[in-house]
Amino acid sequence: MLRSDQQTQFDAWVVGLWSATPLAAQAIVLLICAGLALCASLLCARLRSRSDQKGPIWPAGVITLAVLTGVAFAVLAARHLAFDVVRVASLAAAAWAVVSVAFKTVGRTALGWTVSVLAVGVAGLEAAHLLTPLETALDAQAVELGGVRISLWFVIRAILVVGGLLWLAQRVGDLLERGIAGERVLSRSGHVLFAKLARAALTAAAILFSLAFLGVDVTALAVLSGAVGLGLGFGLQKIVSNYISGLILLMDKSIKPGDVIEVELSTGRVRGEVTELAGRYTAITLRTGTETLIPNEVLISSPVINWSHTSREVQIRVPVGVAYSTDVEAAIALCVEAARAAPRVLATPEPVCFIVGFGDSSVDLEIRFWIRDAERGVRNVSSAVYLEVWKRFRENGVEIPFPQRDLHIRSATPITVRAEAAESGEGR
């Protein structure tokens, strides 16, 4: 450790050396920053190649250069040393980093180009020492509203700050959602619930930080929240009910993404696979390829048949009738054989066939078998089983009877029949 007098002498020597060759010293600092940024970029590329990560390649080198030059500029300004070259380089590196990140995140879209132009423009104005006069001019005319001074500069800053923080909250929410997607500790409904709660918390934090940064009194939100609560109580009952119902569905895990459910709606009974649990609705994909958006409140208040709540295995029952003259035991064996031959039918539990009754014209049988992929449809596998039954019945001469009725006349009224001969030459 250096003593205070030695530290003073060292500082004086550094200041003198820097003052003697300011341009060369600043160039050396920039070269050191560029070298460290290059090392960071190479390290990031090496780690990426080892992890086989997919997605956009973040400009780690440019971001590191902007951070290092910014730190160097702050240190030089604090010690009252020459910093003009480092300052301009720091602004250029910061603008370069913003442009690179904007293009990597949103692409070369209108938003990406807008952010890039704003970043380059602000850096250019600051480099020319014109940003502060421009701020003063934009902030000259203002109005007072609720203790907040609103000017053109305040509006521009509010748009940039609020928009940037909300966009950052959404991006962080996306990263969290992708990060927990592969975790096996949480269920699929747990993933969705955690992602939604994280997004809501990040959005609320972004709004609060935005208001605090803009100088808005956050305590004034108490009155606004009361008004919003009153409005929710009267005008948005259905919407709030659907959102709360969505949270209940996620927490109790009664319906999860990937489940096959059947629900009775006003338009009829629908069955499909749950593809999305949104805040207000649940989307199920039907076998026709269309999606039905069901309000979450309906799923809470109405009976729902979940074909895969605790197990993916579903039993299907297919009725079959044979004639009374048929060897029923042989017909049962043929039905079981037909079910085993149909695709998608599980071998375990084994298909079975029972006599369930004696009908008016047939012996009623019922084939019971299991499948594990109800999301691929139920009628198609039943049709396949029926087709196999038909083939085997036809090959073995098993008759599927038509409905028959016997008519017995218990009493009759005598009918008198009288024949009259037609007179010759006369017609009727």
pLDDT digits 0-9 by tens, 213-269: 777 666 656 666 666 666 656 666 777 788 888 888 877 778 888 888 888 887 788
Report pLDDT for 15: 65
Report pLDDT for 82: 76
Q: Rounded to the nearest 5°, which phi and psi values hold at 356?
A: -110, -5
Q: Is the pLDDT of residue 427 over 70?
A: no
Q: Is the pLDDT of residue 146 over 80?
A: no
Q: Tell me the pLDDT tens digit for each residue of 64-86.
A: 888 888 888 888 888 777 778 88
- CB of 9 within 8 A of CB of 75? no
Q: Report, as an integer, the average pLDDT of 372-383.
A: 85
Residues contacting residue 37 through CB under 8 Å, at least 6 positions apart:
61, 62, 64, 65, 68
**Summary mean pLDDT of the chain:** 79
* Helix-helix angle 237-252:221-235, to 10 degrees: 90
Q: Report, as an integer, the average pLDDT of 158-162.
A: 80
Q: How confident is the model at residue 357 (pLDDT cuts 50, 70, 90)?
A: very high
- CB of 335 within 8 A of CB of 367? yes
pTM as predicted: 0.46
- CB of 367 within 8 A of CB of 339? yes
Q: Report, as an integer, the average pLDDT of 357-364.
A: 89
Q: Is the pLDDT of residue 312 over 70?
A: yes
Examine residue 349 and say whether the peptide bond preceding it is cis (omega within 30 degrees of 0): yes
Q: Tell me the pLDDT tens digit for each residue of 15-63.
A: 666 666 777 877 888 888 888 888 888 887 777 676 555 555 667 888 8
Report pLDDT for 388: 93
* Helix-helix angle 131-138:110-127, to 10 degrees: 110
Report pLDDT for 189: 59
Give the separation between CA 272 and CA 283, rounded to whole angstroms: 9
Report pLDDT for 428: 45
**DSSP code for 328:** H
Break the chain down into helix, strand, coil percent, rounded to 5. Answer: 55, 15, 30
Neighbours of 152 (CB within 10 A): 13
More confident residue, 305 or 423: 305
Which residues lie across from 304 on neighbouring strands?
A: 263
Q: CA distances (Å), 248 to each of 177, 297, 310, in order?
A: 20, 10, 18
Give the separation between CA 86 and CA 73, rounded to whole angstroms: 6
Q: Is the pLDDT of residue 147 over 80?
A: no
Give me the residue label for tokens 């934090």: 205
Six-digit token pair at 227?
Answer: 């008004």
Neighbours of 98 (CB within 10 A): 20
Q: Report, as an integer, the average pLDDT of 75-103.
A: 83
Share of the chain above pLDDT 70, in %: 78
**DSSP code for 419:** -
Report pLDDT for 400: 86
Report pLDDT for 335: 94
More confident residue, 367 or 233: 367
More confident residue, 419 or 201: 201
Lowest mean pLDDT among 133-137, 226-230, 243-247, 292-296: 226-230
Report pLDDT for 1: 47
Q: How many residues does the chain have?
A: 428
